């Protein structure tokens, strides 16, 4: 049976390959906080001005991808923390849903492929690796 933690059994890069040049987790968390704040300020500014807010699809996907990858990395680094596992599973699903809705997948297999049964975590690795950090 495929193992979403190690990536064994999936046609996707294993964590060591997908995240080989990823920033350290603390730096990535700080960068994600900044990106999240910027997106929230844009939404609030549009709301205050009474204008419709259309989030930048590219920035939104980048945020989701980086968040899902960080959660995956945290879950791998700290397998004893169930909350990290739950976050990794949930955020991988959110990225896959976004990519389905917006047709923004970059990798060999799209988010709806049977390849990702039973988990989208390897999908996150495929997409992160394709990103080319």
Q: What is the pLDDT of residues 57-92, one digit of tens each?
A: 999 999 999 999 999 999 999 999 999 999 999 999
CA-to-CA separations, 66 to 31, 32, 114, in angstroms, rounded: 10, 7, 23
Residues 12, 4: Cα–Cα separation, whole Å: 10
Write down the mean pLDDT value for the chain.
94
Residues 128, 79: Cα–Cα separation, whole Å: 21
Per cent of the chain over pLDDT 90 is: 85
Which has the minimum average pLDDT: 40-44, 93-97, 101-105, 129-133? 129-133
Examine the pLDDT at 133 and tell me if it is beyond 70. no
**C-alpha Rg value of the chain to the nearest Å:** 15
Tell me what the mean pLDDT of segment 24-52 comes to.
95
H-run or E-run covering 70:
helix 57-77
Scanning the structure block, which residue is given the tokens 């989030």? 55
Per cent of the chain over pLDDT 70 is: 98
3-state helix, strand and coil shares in percent for the chain, rounded to the nearest 5: 65, 0, 35
């Amino acid at each position: 049976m495929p193992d979403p933690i190690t990536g064994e059994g999936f046609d996707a890069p294993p964590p060591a390959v997908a995240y080989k040049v990823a920033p350290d987790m603390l730096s990535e968390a700080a960068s994600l906080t900044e990106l999240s704040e910027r997106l929230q300020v844009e939404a609030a500014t549009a709301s205050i001005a009474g204008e419709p807010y259309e989030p930048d699809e590219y920035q939104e996907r980048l945020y989701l991808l980086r968040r899902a990858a960080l959660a995956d990395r945290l879950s791998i680094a700290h397998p004893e923390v169930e909350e990290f596992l739950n976050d990794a599973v949930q955020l991988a699903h959110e990225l896959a849903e976004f990519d389905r809705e917006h047709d923004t997948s970059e990798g060999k297999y799209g988010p709806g492929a049977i390849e990702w049964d039973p988990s989208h975590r390897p999908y996150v690795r495929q997409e992160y690796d394709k990103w080319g950090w």
